[in-house]
Amino acid sequence: MKLKIMSEGTADTTTIVNSETGEVVDNIISIDISLDAFHVDAAVVIRNPHISIDNIETQEFVQSDTIEYDGGTSSPDN
């Protein structure tokens, strides 16, 4: 889907629509756009998305919630 931002210059008059159908796309909280001479990146934040994902590989990363103290002169809180 291609998105189109429609606005008259204020937040109250801004809507996001499907550019192919003109239908308003609900629940978009924000769109952040970053660009340079070589790339354009966009992040679209959607509230309560309905997502269907098939054939995705995942990897879980777990950060330990314990801090080890090596007995040196610094305290474990530093």
Q: What is the pLDDT of residues 62-75, one digit of tens each?
A: 776 666 666 666 55
On whether the CB atoms of residues 15 and 24 are closer than 8 A, the answer is: yes
Give the pLDDT of residue 34. Answer: 94
Question: For residue 41, what is the enclosing H or E element?
Answer: strand 40-46
Which residues, given as ranges, of the chain have pLDDT below 50?
none
Give the pLDDT of residue 68. Answer: 64
| pTM, entire model | 0.54
What total of structural domains would you count in the chain?
Answer: 1
Q: Could you tell me the residue range of the domain that residue 12 belongs to?
A: 1-78
Any residues with CB less than 8 A from the CB of 3 and at least 6 apart, and which? 16, 17, 18, 19, 25, 31, 44
Q: Reduced to 3 DSSP states, what percent helix, strand and coil does the chain have, rounded to the nearest 5? A: 0, 30, 70
